[in-house]
């Protein structure tokens, strides 16, 4: 493994302290009934308990979410109090880049020396989108209502286009063939179910029982509800909504939370279930491309990051992406000249959904777990966001300082 100096040399992610809820598809679970901020806070307390981390070890909390939730004004300290240990913190929001951006923010907190153990807690509920009412002087209605999830998906105010249309535009630019996209999607489902059946996902995902107002069982979040086996034939038979885009080759809205810790080197050894495993953040980059070309943005971010670090794509042991459209991965393979079969080995948002805030957090955890199972290496995490933004980060997983 090439040695690259880390941008946050003092920050570490303690192995085995992370966890995520399953991501049930929107409206398919008890999560559509709850305050997701409270749920995430309580779930974090439970996950830390299972990971043998006392919540009192945390001294700062970075939360990340994109869909407004009740009492969000009170931000991280409120969510922390739901966790059981009220601490200071702040809120990060950058559309689908939120999860990774939150991890980066936590690393910066540790690097600054201001905090020793920073919790990263990302969550979103896309079910039953809140509706905001905004005074708009320039609209003839004077007052406009916005259904936060679907209205934003359908309309980028900067371009006037829908999120979905960016995929079609990018697919046409790169001359992506629908047959390849269908095969790619089919492969991604196979990867997910293989990881699920092998028990790999159990290292990351934690079943959680949700209670109703009377304290009785409301539901158990113990599967990525809505994800089902899919055949290549059925993918091929689906109607194209835009170039290469069908209901099968794009992600779906879902609900969930994901949490991990960022801390100092010494504290990571104390908190980790396997102190000999060292996980650090090597480098990160964020770029934007032309308006409406969102699916190419991750590839461009990775390209830039490799240039910055001097690493080659072949130096990367694990590549995982947030890919709301299958064309993202097809474009990535074309731009980076690599084989899309060899990435997203344990599943990806294309398959298990798109709750936005926690999406890249879960992607990161799965990527780090995969690297640990491989004996270490560089982990490239990347994804797109907000119409034309790409984000990428490289983590290094090593064992015993190797």
Partner 1 sequence: MSTSMRQTTLETLGLGTTIDIFTKGKLPVNPDEMIDRVFGPASNRGSLVISGANGIVGAGKLMQFGVRLQSYNIPMVAIDFANAPDGIGGQYQGLVSSFGKGKADDIMSGVIRFNYDGAKLPSYLKSLNPKFLLEAIPEILEIKKAHYKIFREAFPGIEIRSVTSGFPSSELGVGIAHPAFPHQINKIWEIVEAQPSDITKMLWALGMIPMTVGDNWSFVLDVLFCGLMLAGCRYHDVSNMPFWKLDKFIRKWLGPNPYRAHDVIGAKGANFLTWSCLHHLSEHYGDLFRPTAKLTEQKNSGANWYPLNHLRPLINWSLGDDEIKEFENIVLGIMIQMTSLLVHEKRAHFTIMNSIGEMCAQFRNGMLAYIRSIGANSAMELVESYHKLYPQVSNGAWYPDVFDQIESTEWQQLYVNAEHDGTVGVISIARESYNQDVNDELNRAIDWLKAAKIERVILSGDFHLSSQLVGADTNEFFPAVTDAEKGFNIAFEWSKTARRLHSEFRNSVGFIGGKRCLGGMLELMSHCHYVVAIEDADLGAPEVTLPVIPGMEMCHLPFRKTTKENWQKLLKLLLDGRSIKAREASGWLIDYSGNMEEALKMAWQLASDGDAAIQRRQLTETPITNLTDFVTGLPDTENEVINASRKAIFDAVKSSCSVDYNAALTLQAKISGDFMTSKYCKNGFIGTECNKTLSV
Neighbours of 345 (CB within 10 A): 21
51 or 320, CB closer to partner 1? 51
Q: DSSP secondary-structure letter at 379?
A: E
* Pairwise CA distance, residues 221 & 209, whole Å: 6
CB atoms inside a 10 Å sphere around CB 187:
16
Quote the least distance from Cβ 74 to partner 1, whole Å. Answer: 11
Smallest gap from Cβ 35 to partner 1, in A, equals: 7
Which residue, 133 or 213, has its beta carbon nearer to partner 1?
213
- Nearer residue to partner 1 within complex by CB, 53 or 95: 53
Which CB atom, from 219 or from 324, has the smaller least distance to partner 1?
219
Q: How far is the CB of 288 from partner 1 (least distance, A)?
A: 38
**How would you class 10 by CB atoms within 10 Å of its CB: exposed for 0-12, middle for 13-18, buried for 19 or more?**
middle
Report the largest interatomic distance among the alpha carbons of the chain, rounded to a whole angstrom. 64
User: Could you tell me the smallest distance in angstroms from the CB atom of residue 45 to partner 1?
Assistant: 5
Residue 193 Cβ, how far from partner 1 at the closest point, in Å?
Answer: 27
Instruction: Tell me how far, at minimum, the Cβ of 215 lies from partner 1, in Å.
Output: 7
Nearer to partner 1, 85 or 101 (CB): 85
Q: Which is nearer to partner 1, 30 or 96 (CB)?
A: 30
Interaction site with partner 1 (CB under 8 A): 34-35, 38-39, 42-43, 45-46, 48-49, 53-56, 82-85, 208-211, 213, 215, 217
Residues 6+ apart with CB under 8 A from 335: 174, 296, 299, 300, 303
Q: What are phi and psi of 136, to 5 degrees?
A: -130, 100
The nearer residue to partner 1, 44 or 181, going by C-beta atoms, is: 44
Minimal distance, residue 344 CB to partner 1, in Å: 30
Continuous segment of H or E residues that includes residue 211: strand 208-211
Q: Least distance (Å) from partner 1 to the CB of residue 257?
A: 10
CB of 181 to partner 1, least distance (A): 39
Q: Which is nearer to partner 1, 55 or 147 (CB)?
A: 55
Q: Both tokens of residue 305?
A: 């990051």
Q: Which is nearer to partner 1, 136 or 209 (CB)?
A: 209
- The pair of structure tokens assigned to 123 is 């969550």
CB count in 10 Å sphere of residue 163: 21
């Amino acid at each position: 493994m090439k040695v690259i100096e880390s941008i946050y040399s003092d920050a570490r992610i303690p192995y085995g302290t992370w966890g995520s809820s399953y991501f049930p598809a929107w409206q398919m679970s008890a999560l559509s009934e709850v305050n997701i901020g409270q749920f995430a806070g309580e779930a974090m307390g439970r996950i830390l308990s299972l990971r043998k981390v006392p919540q009192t070890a945390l001294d700062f909390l970075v939360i990340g979410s994109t869909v407004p939730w009740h009492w969000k004004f009170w931000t991280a300290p409120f969510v922390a109090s739901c966790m059981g240990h009220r601490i200071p913190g702040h809120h990060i929001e950058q559309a689908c880049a939120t999860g990774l951006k939150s991890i980066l923010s936590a690393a910066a907190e540790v690097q600054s020396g201001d905090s020793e153990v920073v919790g990263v807690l990302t969550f979103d509920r896309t079910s039953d989108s809140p509706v905001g009412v905004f005074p708009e002087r320039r609209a003839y209605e004077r007052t406009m209502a916005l259904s936060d999830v679907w209205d934003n998906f359908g309309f980028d105010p900067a371009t006037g286009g829908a999120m979905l249309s960016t995929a079609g535009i990018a697919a046409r630019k790169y001359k992506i063939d629908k047959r390849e996209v269908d095969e790619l999607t089919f492969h991604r489902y196979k990867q997910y179910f293989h990881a699920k059946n092998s028990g790999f996902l159990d290292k990351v995902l934690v079943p959680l029982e949700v209670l109703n107002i009377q304290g009785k069982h409301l539901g158990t979040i113990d599967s990525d509800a809505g994800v089902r086996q899919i055949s290549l034939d059925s993918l091929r038979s689906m109607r194209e909504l835009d170039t290469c885009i069908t209901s099968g080759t794009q992600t779906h809205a879902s609900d969930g939370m994901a949490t991990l810790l960022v801390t100092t080197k010494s504290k990571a050894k104390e908190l980790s279930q396997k102190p000999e495993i060292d996980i650090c953040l090597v480098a990160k980059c964020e770029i934007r491309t032309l308006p409406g070309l969102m699916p190419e943005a991750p590839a461009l971010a990775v390209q830039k990051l490799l240039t910055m670090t001097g690493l080659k794509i072949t130096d990367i042991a694990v590549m995982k992406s947030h890919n709301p459209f299958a064309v993202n991965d097809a474009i990535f393979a074309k731009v980076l000249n690599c084989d899309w079969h060899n990435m997203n080995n344990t599943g990806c948002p294309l398959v298990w959904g798109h709750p936005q805030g926690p999406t890249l957090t879960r992607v990161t955890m799965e990527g780090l777990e995969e690297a640990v199972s491989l004996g270490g290496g560089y982990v490239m995490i990347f994804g797109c966001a907000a119409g034309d933004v790409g984000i990428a980060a490289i983590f290094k997983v090593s064992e015993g300082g190797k």
